[in-house]
């Protein structure tokens, strides 16, 4: 199982944020470190081409990583078909904070 580095942690407990409305932890996909890196870069960037240049990978490789991330989110019952939905998932899972965007 992959361990993820969280950027947004609850200050009191030093654990990832939980869904405020439900008060329960959301099901999380098992993303690889590279998938997280690509997802976070894409959330913070305006294009997949720019992500590719930043990470020294082809834009089609960026697409492949994002397709796998989407499939993994769908598999745990949290589909994300748009960039906005993936951004919401990244925020919910503590991978990105609003002030980082």
pLDDT in tens, 5-38: 444 544 444 555 444 444 567 899 999 999 999 9
Rounded to 5°, angle at Cα 55 from 44 and 49: 65
pLDDT at 56 over 50: yes
Contact partners, residue 22, CB within 8 Å, separation at least 6: none
Cα 73 from Cα 71, distance rounded (Å): 5
pLDDT in tens, 66-93: 999 999 999 999 999 999 999 999 999 9
Q: What is the model's pTM?
A: 0.76
Cα 23 from Cα 20, distance rounded (Å): 5
DSSP state of 34: H
């Amino acid at each position: 199982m992959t361990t993820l580095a969280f950027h947004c942690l609850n200050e009191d407990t030093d654990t990832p944020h939980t869904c405020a409305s439900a008060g329960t932890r959301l099901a999380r996909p098992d993303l690889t470190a590279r998938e997280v890196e690509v997802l976070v870069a894409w959330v913070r960037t305006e294009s997949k081409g720019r992500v590719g240049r930043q990470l020294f990978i082809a834009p089609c490789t960026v697409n492949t990583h994002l397709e796998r991330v989407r499939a993994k989110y769908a598999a745990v019952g949290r589909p994300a078909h748009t960039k906005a939905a993936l951004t919401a998932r990244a925020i919910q899972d503590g991978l990105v904070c609003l002030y980082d965007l």
